[in-house]
Chains A and B, each alone.
Chain A
Amino acid sequence: MSADNGPLIIGFLCNWCSYAGADMAGTSRIAYPANIRIIRVPCSGRVDPLLIVKCFEEGADAVLVAGCHPGDCHYNEGNYYSRRRFALLRALLDFMGIEKERFQVKWVSASEGKRFAKIITEFTEDMTKLGARKAS
């Protein structure tokens, strides 16, 4: 969004795994780029495609949805639904001119602080290479 601060990434993290994973990264003092703005949601299944499209409309460079690994959902099956939903949304966004790379879905468990930091670091690097979105 802004050339100085690098890409703006919005992250929707599920309360039970990924948000706790991000917390774990923090308490373990693992540094990751501040380009991600985290929004805590009850479940990755709660993330309505409207939220994703709205982020892009309002000028986000990339969006991340992170949830529990399949089989680990706190609500048993929320992430299975979101997996199907976002497989379709990703194809639609790509078709409409938002690169596939800009919308990522990742599974991060509560103990994977290191993995969370790695995902954010790599995602930020990729988005910096890809550059800001020309639109909006």
Chain B
Amino acid sequence: MVADFTQQIRDKAKELLEKGTVECVIGYETGSDGFSARPAFIYESAEVERLIFDNTCSHNLVKYLLNKKGKPTAVIVKGCDSRALNLLLSEKQIDRDNIFIIGVVCPGVVEWGWNNHSDQLQIRCNWCRQHNPVIYDFLVGEPVTEGPPDDFADIAAMETKSTEEREAFWREQAEHCVRCYACRQACPGCYCIDCFVEQLDPEWVGIRIAPEENLMWNTIRAFHLAGRCISCNECERVCPVNIPLSLLNRRMEREVLGLFDYRAGMSEDAVAPLITFMKDEKLGIGE
């Protein structure tokens, strides 16, 4: 099945590049360790044989479209990645006319690292309800039936702990954080040219790598993604010290779903919950 996906992607990429519909196809190729996928930028139709698709293709390639503004580009997206496309389209960051979307019905991605390959699905796949791309021009694979709604069991488990325990838990995580900003660099929703963390006046987050500053960074980043996170969980995958960032993002996702019945990235003209309001809503605030 997956070999067939690879062939279909190569054929489509070749056609697009030969016709001149796009000048670049962003996809996956085999990395230098011989089995894990890495992003590939294909500019020549002769090079399409480099493209692959398998269960190590976990990168969210939508992020790279932000560097391709104004240039016709094709991108390969899985279900979760396709929601990022809708997010960026609704926030007017990319132009639909310049993008050709090759959607892939995602078979799930496995845990992998450098020279380290397992058959274990990544945790994002456990809660994934978006194996089918929500937006595409060309679909690879047969659409599947999605599972029942997510029960957020991991968040509920975290909430059974006391406030002190949660405080201690996050403080410990913050002690590990080295503020490499890999989470931000991998995130399709983090595209601010001047990120608050690099502002010097006011200096919201100090330059020292200390738990307080790290906690501030992780709290605010989670908040900036509230109602915008599309659960691709790339932030957690790229984290070199394995901070469970999905807990923060999914806590916000559950809250947004509960209060506003909203899931990010489901349509390209969606209005995000924090840029609108209803006059008579009851949110347990100020009452």
Q: Provided the pairs A53-B220, A88-B256 are in contact, do residues A97 and B166 lie with their beta carbons within 8 angstroms?
A: yes
For residue A77, which residues in chain B have a CB less than 8 angstroms away from its CB?
277
User: Is the CB–CB distance between B223 and A97 below 8 Å?
Assistant: no
Closest B residue to A67 using CB positions = B286
| CA distance in complex: A82, B226 (Å) | 14
* Chain A CB within 8 A of B196 CB: yes
User: Is the CB–CB distance between A92 and B251 below 8 Å?
Assistant: yes
User: Is the CB–CB distance between A136 and B279 below 8 Å?
Assistant: no
| CA distance in complex: A134, B167 (Å) | 9
User: Is the CB–CB distance between B274 and A91 below 8 Å?
Assistant: no
For residue B285, which residues in chain A have a CB less than 8 angstroms away from its CB?
83, 86-87, 90, 105
Closest B residue to A50 using CB positions = B204
Task: Say which residue of A85, A92, A105, A135 sits within 8 Å of B222 (CB atoms).
Answer: A92
For residue A93, which residues in chain B have a CB less than 8 angstroms away from its CB?
219
User: Is the CB–CB distance between B216 and A57 below 8 Å?
Assistant: yes
Give the interface size bracket for B toward A.
35 or more
For residue A88, which residues in chain B have a CB less than 8 angstroms away from its CB?
223, 226-227, 252, 255-256, 259, 274
Secondary structure at chain B's binding surface: helix, strand, loop or mixed? Answer: helix
For residue A92, which residues in chain B have a CB less than 8 angstroms away from its CB?
219, 222-223, 226, 248, 251-252, 255
* Chain A CB within 8 A of B176 CB: no
For the complex formed, measure the closest distance between the CB of B209 and the CB atoms of chain A, giving whole angstroms: 14
| CA distance in complex: A54, B216 (Å) | 7
Secondary structure at chain A's binding surface: helix, strand, loop or mixed? Answer: helix
* Chain B CB within 8 A of A49 CB: yes
* Chain B CB within 8 A of A125 CB: no
* Chain B CB within 8 A of A75 CB: no
For residue B220, which residues in chain A have a CB less than 8 angstroms away from its CB?
49-50, 53
User: Is the CB–CB distance between A71 and B164 below 8 Å?
Assistant: no
| CA distance in complex: A89, B220 (Å) | 9
Closest A residue to B203 using CB positions = A54
Task: Say which residue of A83, A86, A99 sits within 8 Å of B277 (CB atoms).
Answer: A83
Sample of 17 A–B contacts (CB below 8 Å): A49-B223, A57-B215, A57-B216, A77-B277, A80-B277, A81-B275, A83-B277, A84-B273, A87-B259, A91-B252, A92-B219, A93-B219, A96-B170, A96-B219, A97-B163, A97-B165, A97-B167
List B residues at the A interface (Cβ < 8 Å): 155, 158-159, 163-171, 196, 204, 212-213, 215-216, 219-220, 222-223, 226-227, 247-248, 251-252, 255-256, 259-260, 273-275, 277-279, 281, 283-286
List A residues at the B interface (Cβ < 8 Å): 49-50, 53-54, 57, 67, 70-71, 77, 79-81, 83-99, 105-107, 134-136
